[in-house]
Amino acid sequence: MLAVPWIAIFPAALAAWWPAFRWLSLGLLIIGYSAALTNGQIGFLAAMPVALLLVAAYAVSPHRKPYLQYFGHALFILLAIALSMHWLPGFHNPRVIGPERFTADAVPFSMYLNLDKPLVGFWLLLVLPWIRPSREWRVSMKAGLCSMLMTSAACLLIAVLLGLVRWEPKWPSASWLWLLNNLLLVTLTEEALFRGYLQGGLSRLLGQRPHADAIALCIAAVLFGLAHVAGGWQWILLGSVAGIGYGLAYRFGGLQAAVLAHFGLNVTHFYLFTYPMLQPLGQS
């Protein structure tokens, strides 16, 4: 029964990527969240943020008055923070991995199939088409791969030097579930928010001002780093460096390039280095 909602929600994430399948994605989302309600994985209180997201979608429509659009974006930002931090009631996200040590010296890792945070990504992909600037696929692939290689090298080298991880290749048994979750519900949501919405939105707001794209990229990267504050200053630093790499991928290759770069770094970290990090000395 645990898998029932995700049979619809994972394909919904894929369908949301292509505008031509917008209605298919909405239909699959309704099926998936209805199944989650039936299974007890969400409660009726979850209807509140869903309703507010619908209000925000109505308000940000291009033909609405400016004050309504400002209200809609402000409401969405508040909801995005609350949903991403799992602050809102009504979501009973099932734990599907852990706590488990993938290597003997690693911090125990747990993974949940979240039903709240992905709503942020679905909203962005379905409501704001401008977060996905059109790019030729070869350009996107090149930008994504180049950013993935450079960002992975920089971030993982820094992480090794800071004593956060070490070289530890492995193949955990739950890899397939981790890959699906990380690509469709973590990486896609985070890149839609930080690169598509924040970086892309700031670039639109700054318009033709000098260095608009660079300013937007840096602000989004710093905010992405601050989103990792729970891990301490080291993870803020790593998040900010990664955010610059993903931002460059987005700038030159669009959202698909940013997702490729982000997912590629995560996969490299997961399979080749300590995951999620080394157990600090003195702790067990």
**pLDDT digits 0-9 by tens, 206-254:** 988 889 999 999 999 999 999 999 999 999 999 999 999 999 999 999 9
pTM, entire model? 0.95
Specify whether the CB–CB gap between 193 and 120 falls below 8 A.
Answer: yes
- 95 CB-side CA count, 13 A: 6
pLDDT for 250-277, tens place per residue? Answer: 999 999 999 999 999 999 999 999 999 9
Residue 283: what pLDDT? 64
Query: Secondary structure of the chain: what % helix, strand, coil (to 5)?
Result: 70, 5, 25
Mean pLDDT for 140-153 is 97
Mean pLDDT for 76-88 is 97
Residue 284: what pLDDT? 59
CA distances from 152 to 175, 238, 245, 249, 253 (A): 19, 10, 9, 13, 17
Specify whether the CB–CB gap between 252 and 139 falls below 8 A.
Answer: yes
- Is residue 279 domain-resident? yes
Q: How confident is residue 282, by pLDDT bands cut at 50, 70 and 90?
A: low
Per the structure, the count of domains in the chain is 1
Instruction: Return the C-alpha torsion angle 189, 194, 200, 201, nearest 10.
Output: 100
177: containing domain: 135-284
| Spacing of C-alpha 144 from chain mean position | 16
Residue 85: what pLDDT? 95
Residues 6+ apart with CB under 8 A from 55: 72, 75
Residue 3: what pLDDT? 65
Q: Is the pLDDT of residue 20 over 90?
A: no
- Is residue 128 domain-resident? no
Mean pLDDT for 98-110 is 94
Residues 6+ apart with CB under 8 A from 137: 256
- Is residue 145 domain-resident? yes
Q: Is the pLDDT of residue 41 over 70?
A: yes
- Is residue 76 domain-resident? no
For the chain, what is the mean pLDDT?
94
- Is residue 95 domain-resident? no
